[in-house]
Amino acid sequence: EAGVVQSPRYKIIEKKQPVAFWCNPISGHNTLYWYLQNLGQGPELLIRYENEEAVDDSQLPKDRFSAERLKGVDSTLKIQPAELGDSAVYLCASSLGLAGRTDTQYFGPGTRLTVL
């Protein structure tokens, strides 16, 4: 079974440029998460989707970050414009989405963003 797929794996851009990250979750997983991970830190949740609905985006900086999951499968996370402090690893994860239960998240390899 294929795991969570993310692309690109690495991205280097200059500040003020836009950037987009793509995620394909595990087949059959209804819940999709975007996390930000700084060096030496644990992942921090940016946004969570249940199917195509964003149900938790309280930590997403909405002035520059946006996300979508139009058909309830793939998802895109965008930053426009990027700032130096956005340099980090952006992780995507998915889970079955079991109602009323904690279920295990499976992570993709992440996109390492460097903003110059």
Binding site for other proteins (CB under 8 A): 3-4, 33, 40-45, 48, 56, 91, 100-110, 112
How many other β-carbons are positioned within 10 Å of the β-carbon of residue 81? 14
Shorter beta-carbon distance to other proteins: residue 33 or 65 = 33
Phi, psi dihedrals of residue 23, rounded to the nearest 5°: -140, 135
- Considering the complex, state which of residue 8 and residue 18 has its C-beta at the smaller distance from other proteins: 8
Nearest approach, Cβ of residue 101 and other proteins (Å): 6
Residue placing its CB nearer to other proteins in the complex, 79 or 91 = 91
Residues 6+ apart with CB under 8 A from 46: 34, 35, 36, 57, 59, 60, 65, 67, 77
Nearest distance from C-beta of residue 81 to other proteins, angstroms: 27
63 in the Ramachandran plot: left (φ > 0), alpha (ψ -120 to 50) or beta? alpha
What is the smallest separation between the CB atom of 80 and other proteins, expressed in angstroms? 26
* In the complex, minimum distance from the CB of residue 30 to other proteins, in angstroms, rounded to a whole number: 13
Name the residue nearer to other proteins (CB basis): 81 or 96: 96
CA-CA distance, 2 to 11, in Å (whole number)?
23
